Amino acid sequence: MPSPKARSGGGGRSGSVPAGGGGAGGNGRYEFMSLTRTPSHLLQRQGSDPTSARLRASESPCRRRGSGSSSASTSSAGGQPVPEEDCMRLNPSTLGIALSSLLAVDLWLSKRLGVCACEDASWGSVRPLMKLVEVSGHGIPWLLGAAYCLYKSDSAAGQEVTLNLLMALLLDLVLVGVVKALVRRRRPAHNRMDMFATFSVDRYSFPSGHATRAAMCARFLLAHLVLAAPLRVLVLLWAAFVGLSRVLLGRHNVTDVAFGFFMGYFQYNLVEALWLSPVVLQSMMGQLE
């Protein structure tokens, strides 16, 4: 009957176990120990290789979770700061997501609605009509028309209305030019710069000057002219069609026109606050003389 000692070390296998196997409790199970421990010569190689050190640091649980802001701003190998633009932002703000989504929808919808942007577009045959509507909302015809009516008017009430309309048109040009110069949003990529009488600031898109002018003039005419119901509806349709033509021609994005209507509507409140009466005008003329 062989002894327990002979069974545990029989077959000559104990002599083939490496010396490091004794660290596992003397049970000779070197194969399990090698799975949980890294040999010393590999540890020395990894410690001297910076690439391996970086790989181990990137595979660590803390690095994978990305829980600390310091791990995103510094590298594990040499402690060098990582540029802020290279760091991944895992928690963008809700406002940033909403604005980015709105911009994407705006660009997509504006491109889909630009059906008259060129002659080869799906509605390219009606492009001359859209350009005629564009001219009807341009600032130069409105300024010339208001100046002519002021010159031909023979009543104090008519002169008062046309004078304030002329001042409102000049105010619209100044405000739209300032906002465009501040925002500096480029026009849509599918736009053709063949507009009537453009200026340097007209290369910018936000807001739509035609939309602001149409909304302000429509509200001005409805408030100070006695018009029949069909003419009042026609004025509103003209203002809406001017704004729509800006998107169909590819001149502006949808948000440019929407903000232009909003801005023009409230510009009329400013015109009412700065309203020039004949008495004020006569006093100004007397001071100039």
According to the model, what pLDDT value does residue 248 have?
93
**Quick one: pLDDT at residue 71?**
45
Residue 276 confidence (pLDDT):
83
At residue 29, the pLDDT reads: 46
Torsion of CA 206, 211, 216, 217, to 10 degrees: 140
Dihedral angle sign, alpha carbons of residues 223, 227, 229, 231:
negative
Would you state the pLDDT for residue 89?
A: 54
Residue 212 has what pLDDT?
Answer: 96
- Model's pTM, two decimal places? 0.64
pLDDT digits (tens, 9 = 90+) for 14-67: 444 444 444 444 444 444 444 445 555 554 554 555 555 554 554 444 444 444
Rounded to the nearest 10 degrees, how much is the dihedral formed by the CA atoms of 143, 144, 146, 148? 160
Position 159 scores a pLDDT of 86
Distances (CA, A) of 189 to 12, 107, 203: 83, 10, 12
pLDDT of residue 289: 55
* SS3 track for 106-117: HHHHHHHHCCCC
pLDDT digits (tens, 9 = 90+) for 258-283: 999 999 999 999 999 988 887 776 67
Nearest to 191 by CA among 250, 135, 112: 250
Contact (CB, 8 A) for 248 and 115: yes
> What are the catalytic residues?
210, 252
Q: pLDDT (tens digit, 9 = 90+) per residue, 182-228?
A: 999 999 888 888 887 777 778 888 999 999 999 999 999 999 988 88
Provide the pLDDT for residue 285: 56
The whole-number pLDDT of residue 10 equals 43
Please report the pLDDT score of residue 85 as a whole number: 46
pLDDT digits over 60-106, tens only? Answer: 444 444 444 444 444 444 555 545 544 545 556 888 888 888 889 98
- Containing 4, the helix (H) or strand (E) segment is helix 4-9
| pLDDT tens, position by position, 137-185 | 998 999 999 999 988 888 888 888 999 999 999 999 999 999 999 999 9
pLDDT at 75: 44
